[in-house]
Amino acid sequence: MKTKDVYQKVTNNILQALEKGVIPWRQPFRSSLSPIPVNYSTGKAYRGINVFLLNMACFQFNYPTNAWLTFNQARDLGGKVKKGQKSEMVLFWKPTLIKEQSVSESGDLVESTKEIYFARVYRVFNIEQCEGITNESIDQTPLPRIESCEQVYANYPEIKPVINLGLSAMYIPKLDQIRIPAMQDFISTSDYYATLFHELVHSTGHISRLNREGIASAQRSNLVRYSKEELVAEMGASFLCALTGIDNKQLTENAVAYIQNWLEVFKHDKTMVIKAASLAQEATDYLIN
């Protein structure tokens, strides 16, 4: 079947499924992020305000592991912080003894010591920002991969976006980086590739590639523009699933449910699927070169 015919077939299938009503969407992967950040070098859990600060950083940058260390700790473990990485601030309350003088009832000068606490600032890096250090908390056991799907990224034209592990799946245009959970965190291998394809389609919109408005200039605060890009990415992922031979009923239903969520922004305007499909075809053509 010709590529254009595949595009049309997938689009028709999605439109037909949308007509049947709401299909419940399921997240294709499991989250394993620890809610308590720890120091990777000492194994001690951070406390107080530091839990909030480091959890916020973990979610903002989508780190898969809530483990942190200082620049010197990374060096002492035989590794180093990757060039250009930004640190996070943590507070450490250090006790200090100070001397106080007072006058007793008899008029004598009395000296005493008092313990007070001073806040000291430390800078820490996530274990994902370092290299040369084995992260034992991540299972590196290889799982079966699908060659046709692997070739999509392998044949990515020109400069590829970097793919790193993440708490959830996302594309970060500023870094030209894809973050995605490990394959073993997904319900199935097909779910992993469908999710990866979604983020790969996003990456084609980078200003250095197709310069698509939804990626090059869209922000999450602009819900309409952002939702258009999500439709493009999910349509493109569906095309790639069909072209690589992994499309199945569950993947299609999950894609339809995801698209339904975004169509709420357009008051169920099904024509947006057709518009998104056109941009998705362009992105898919770019990826399959």
Do 19 and 45 belong together in one domain?
no
- CA 259 to chain centroid, in Å, comes to 20
Residue 79: partners with Cβ closer than 8 Å, 6 or more residues away: 130, 131, 132, 133
Out of 110, 131, 152, a domain closes at 131
Q: Are residues 115 and 253 in the same domain?
A: no
Domain stops at, among 98, 131, 164: 131
Both 103 and 229 in one domain: the answer is: no
Range from 4-8, 192-196, 204-208 carrying the lowest mean pLDDT: 4-8
Alpha carbon distance 236, 110 (integer Å): 79
Among residues 97, 131, 165, which one ends one of the domains? Answer: 131
Question: 94: which strand partners?
Answer: 118
Residues 221 and 121 in one domain: no
CA distance 159 to 259: 29
- Given the structure tokens 């602009």, which residue do they identify? 222
pLDDT 10s digits, 18-35: 888 777 777 787 655 667
Q: Is residue 63 in a domain?
A: yes
Evaluate whether residue 209 is within a structural domain.
yes
Quick: pLDDT tens for 111-155: 878 777 777 888 999 999 999 987 554 443 445 789 999 999 999
The parent domain of residue 240 ranges over 3-31+143-287
Helix axis angle for 3-19 and 249-263, nearest 10°, is: 70
**127 lies in the same domain as 188:** no
137 in a domain, yes or no?
Answer: no
Q: Are residues 225 and 107 in the same domain?
A: no
| 36 lies in some domain | no
* Res. 79 pLDDT band, cuts 50 70 90: very high
- 46 and 117 share one domain: yes
- Give yes or no: residues 171 and 96 share one domain: no
d(CA 145, CA 89): 39
Beta carbons within 10 angstroms of residue 52's beta carbon: 11
* pLDDT in the model for residue 282: 96
Residue-level length of the chain: 289
Q: Are residues 198 and 120 in the same domain?
A: no
Total domain count, the chain: 2
Residue 184 confidence (pLDDT) above 50: yes
Residue 94 and residue 64 in contact, taking contact as beta carbons nearer than 8 Å = no
| Whole-model pTM over 0.75 | no
CA distance 131 to 133: 5
Residues 12 and 150 in one domain: yes
Let me know whether 204 and 268 are in one domain. Answer: yes
Q: Residue 243's pLDDT band (boundaries 50, 70, 90)?
A: very high
For residue 138, tell me if it sits in a domain: no
CA–CA dist 1, 4 (Å, integer):
8
Strand partners, 130: 81
